[in-house]
Amino acid sequence: MSVLKSLESKIAGLVEGTFSRAFRSEVRPVEIARKLAREMEEHKSFSVSRTYVPNEYRVFLSPADRDRFSGYEDALAGELAGYLLEYARRERLAMLSRPVIEFETDGRLGLGEFGIQTRIVRPAEAPGQEAQAEESGRTMIYSSADRVAEPLEERARVRNETALLLVEGKRLVVGSAGATIGRSRQCDVVLSDPNVSRQHAEVRPRGGSWVVNDLGSTNGVSLNGRRIEGPQVVKPGDEIELGTSVMKFELE
């Protein structure tokens, strides 16, 4: 059984107990585990005979996701630490101590997004001596929606921009977490066009930019007259076509 499968089995065994409510969060424990392993691999330090990896990991969650994990963090941190320890052993990676997982809240993150910051902490060599920490990299933000990483600095900059959709003479503000577009009243931007699917497309921040993505609509999405395949970056002045409706993207 793989290390990740073993972790999945351990967490699955707790679903009927303390973890049952936590799984309703957009952020999944196994997804956090995958990205922790990725950050471990990204921040190796090489010596003559060993390859060292971070032994301290700070996981940043949105207020909503942190609230859902409230009360279960210690158990989850223990499982994640055990997973990283076993992963390091199998990959022959060295740690200066058992890995430590800490959770924190960051209001700049939206639901389903989480950040990871790593450090290599050298334990104190004598009683009363402070441990020495070495920053291993920037905080990276992951989205459970598209599994794409981006630096927190870029994510924060996009959050400070106001995106607009100009349609039918109206200026519609796109929230910092993005907006869904379609005929359904559950969408953030509702269109009455019968050629538009109930949940047709979405516009959201990604990688320091804004992107438009087709949500599996019947008639597709076009950007500046060209049909898109997968997420496409949109810039001020670009025209997005859904069904027979055309809207212009702007930034303020």
> In this predicted structure, what is the pLDDT of residue 95?
92
Is the confidence at residue 159, as pLDDT, over 80?
no
Is the confidence at residue 165, as pLDDT, over 70?
yes
Higher confidence at residue 14 or residue 198? 198
> In this predicted structure, what is the pLDDT of residue 162?
80
Is the confidence at residue 221, as pLDDT, over 90?
yes
Cα distances (angstroms) measured from residue 17 to each of 23, 29, 201: 11, 15, 37
Q: How far, in Å, CA of 117 to CA of 86, rounded?
A: 20
Q: What is the mean pLDDT of residues 87-109?
A: 90
pTM value > 0.75: no
> In this predicted structure, what is the pLDDT of residue 67?
85
Write down the residue that tokens 């959770």 correspond to: 103
> In this predicted structure, what is the pLDDT of residue 17?
45
CA within 13 Å, CB half, 209: 10
Q: Residue 238's closest CA among 218, 215, 207, 212?
A: 212
pLDDT above 90 as % of the chain: 27
Q: What is the mean pLDDT of residues 55-60?
A: 92
Please say whether the beta carbons of 211 and 218 come within 8 A. Answer: no
> In this predicted structure, what is the pLDDT of residue 45?
86
Q: What is the mean pLDDT of residues 121-132?
A: 56
> In this predicted structure, what is the pLDDT of residue 133?
47
pLDDT band for position 5 (cuts 50, 70, 90): low
Q: What is the mean pLDDT of residues 235-241?
A: 94
Q: What is the mean pLDDT of residues 209-217?
A: 87
pLDDT above 70 as % of the chain: 73
